[in-house]
Amino acid sequence: MTRNWRPDPRQYAAQRHPDLPWGYWLRVDPAIHGVIDEVGGLWPSLRHYFWTHRLSMPDKGICPVDRGCDVLLAILHAKMNRMVGYEEWVTDLFGESWEGQRHYMSWLYGQGLIADSQVTIEGEAAARMLAATRPLDAPDLAPLEFPVSWNGLDRCVTRGRREQIMAAQEAMGRALRYRFVREPVADRPGIKLIGFELGNNIPLTRVLWTLTFPDDHARDRLFAFIADRLDRWQAWGEMAAIEGSRAFSEHLLRLKFADEPFDFG
């Protein structure tokens, strides 16, 4: 009889420390290049061990180890930090491939990294490990914490608290190569996308995209949406730098209305 098998999400917490990064049990020997697993197997790196041994993925071909691990980290990171609808997943993370999104999320479910639409304990441990083992020259990626969001219309009641949260969200992006900031544009409240050290001959700071608003409350509503997706700033900045500000505006508009239900009254 053929038996359908998939990892039990509860098994990892029963066998491993749930608060430590995935793979903490491996050993490093200064005399040997690589890491050693529990049965004496030698692996080029912790990422190789996770990708090829745990996930049974090839280490060469169309999806090299680091590329595969970084894509997985982006998906787990987004899943851990916000509620993402299917259409936004497809539009922003899967190149508008609905079949690709369904296949990838089914793969994560089968691997036990996602269960009941949530990242499992092992998935969270894997995300911590993948974030800690990124190459030094890898593109920017957001930290794994986000401040609590705010809700409701302003009417000047929540302005102090809103400004505190907005300032904290801006501060998290200051170390990134591509960052969004709230700055006036032509004396109106605005948001700018700024790229730092862009250009081959003379790297300069460049404003890649701007948008103005009638008031600061309208500006901060969109900025809150953008800041909740801090892990996408690198990809969005590259889109604006390569494809232009209009392409990014269209992409952002599709994201903002992704998964919105029809309301016929």
Average pLDDT over residues 238-250: 95
Task: Verify that 117 and 15 share a domain, yes or no.
Answer: yes
Task: Verify that 119 and 54 share a domain, yes or no.
Answer: yes
**CB-based contacts of 131, cutoff 8 Å, min separation 6:** 73, 77, 141, 144
Average pLDDT over residues 191-206: 84
Residue 126 belongs to a domain: yes
In sequence order, what are the beta bridge partners of 211? Answer: 191
Domain boundary among 132, 151, 173: 132
H or E stretch covering 240: helix 233-243
In the chain, the percentage of residues whose pLDDT exceeds 70 is 87
Residue 148 belongs to a domain: no
Average pLDDT over residues 174-202: 88
Residue 128 belongs to a domain: yes
pLDDT of residue 224 exceeding 70, the answer is yes
pTM, rounded to two decimals? 0.67
In sequence order, what are the beta bridge partners of 193? Answer: 180, 209
Looking at residue 7, what is its pLDDT? 64
Looking at residue 204, what is its pLDDT? 82
Task: Verify that 13 and 123 share a domain, yes or no.
Answer: yes
Looking at residue 117, what is its pLDDT? 84
Greatest extent of the chain over all pairs of C-alpha atoms, in Å? 72
The CA angle 223-98-228, to the nearest 5 degrees, is 15
Dihedral (CA of 101, 104, 110, 113) sign: negative
Task: Verify that 65 and 118 share a domain, yes or no.
Answer: yes
Task: Verify that 125 and 163 share a domain, yes or no.
Answer: no
Looking at residue 260, what is its pLDDT? 83
> Regarding predicted confidence, which is higher, 4 or 129?
129
Task: Verify that 48 and 94 share a domain, yes or no.
Answer: yes
Residue 41 belongs to a domain: yes
Residue 149 belongs to a domain: no
Task: Verify that 103 and 176 share a domain, yes or no.
Answer: no
> Tokens 């901060």, residue?
220
Task: Verify that 81 and 168 share a domain, yes or no.
Answer: no
Looking at residue 11, what is its pLDDT? 85
Residue 104 phi, psi (nearest 5): -65, -45
Q: Give the confidence band of 265 by pLDDT, cuts at 50, 70, 90.
A: low
Task: Verify that 123 and 188 share a domain, yes or no.
Answer: no
C-beta separation of 69 from 48 below 8 A:
no
> Regarding predicted confidence, which is higher, 107 or 149?
107
Which of 50, 88, 81, 54 is closest to 66 using CA atoms?
Answer: 50
Residue 209 belongs to a domain: yes
Instruction: Look at the chain and report how many structural domains it folds into.
Output: 2
pLDDT of residue 153 exceeding 60, the answer is no
Q: Across the chain, what does the average pLDDT equal?
A: 84
> Regarding predicted confidence, which is higher, 118 or 146?
118
Average pLDDT over residues 154-175: 74
Q: Give the confidence band of 171 by pLDDT, cuts at 50, 70, 90.
A: confident
Residue 23 belongs to a domain: yes
> Regarding predicted confidence, which is higher, 158 or 152?
158
Task: Verify that 164 and 124 share a domain, yes or no.
Answer: no
Residue 264 belongs to a domain: no
Q: Average the pLDDT over each of 50-64, 148-162, 165-179, 235-249 and give the range with the smallest value.
A: 148-162
In the chain, the percentage of residues whose pLDDT exceeds 90 is 44
Helix (H/G/I), strand (E/B), else coil: 188: strand
Return the structure tokens found at 34.
């690589």
pLDDT of residue 250 exceeding 50, the answer is yes
pLDDT digits 0-9 by tens, 94-145: 877 888 889 999 999 999 999 988 999 999 999 999 999 987 777 665 443 3
Which residues span the domain enclosing 208? 159-257
pLDDT of residue 173 exceeding 70, the answer is yes
